[in-house]
Amino acid sequence: MKPIRPNDMMLQVTIRIVAIIIFAFSFYLLLAGHNSPGGGFIGGLMTASAILVLYLAFDVKSISKALPINFEMVIGLGLLLALGTGIVSMILGFPFLTQFFDYFQFPVYGEVELTTALPFDIGIYMVVVGAVMAIILRIEEDDI
């Protein structure tokens, strides 16, 4: 007799859509952070929860196949990115981690503010996603 597998079709169908919405919202949070609630930390947590929701609805194997990401690596890359923005300002002769911003005119969008804080925030975003996912996946995979 095969083990009974609960029928979670409804959950899976819903999650497919919900996860995309959460992803989109998390990116919004990440990018909007400078001027409205949000930022790398919150965005990262939200992305992580989106991925986690996928893991909950589907099994680990298929999600790991769909998202073949080494999250330990993401931690390292994020740290390097955050450090890198600091070092760039150092090379230019400013104190470590000096941030800059300016306003640019883009077609269609109009005036857009670009800051060096954004790559820094993306680095933090990556570390948060990487750390949460690495810890949780390891605990999940572990079977003793």
Give me the residues that bind other proteins (CB under 8 A), please. Answer: 29, 33-42, 45-46, 48-49, 52-53, 56, 72, 75-76, 78-79, 82-83, 86, 96-97, 99, 101-102, 113, 115, 117, 120-121, 123-124, 127-128, 130-132, 134-136, 138-140, 142, 144
Shortest distance (Å) from residue 104 CB to other proteins:
12
**Cβ distance to other proteins smaller for residue 16 or 138:** 138
In order, the DSSP letters of 113-139 are EEETHHHHHHHHHHHHHHHHHHHHHHH
Please, where are the H alpha helices in 3-59? 9-32, 40-57
Shortest distance (Å) from residue 45 CB to other proteins:
4
Shortest distance (Å) from residue 20 CB to other proteins:
17
Shortest distance (Å) from residue 35 CB to other proteins:
4
**Cβ distance to other proteins smaller for residue 11 or 136:** 136
**Cβ distance to other proteins smaller for residue 24 or 56:** 56
Q: What is the rounded CA–CA span in Å between residue 78 and residue 90?
A: 19
**Cβ distance to other proteins smaller for residue 27 or 72:** 72
Shortest distance (Å) from residue 124 CB to other proteins:
5
Beta-carbon contacts of residue 125 (< 8 Å; ≥ 6 apart): 30, 40, 41, 43, 44, 47, 78
Beta-carbon contacts of residue 101 (< 8 Å; ≥ 6 apart): 113, 114, 115, 116, 117
Q: What is the rounded CA–CA span in Å between residue 74 and residue 85?
A: 17
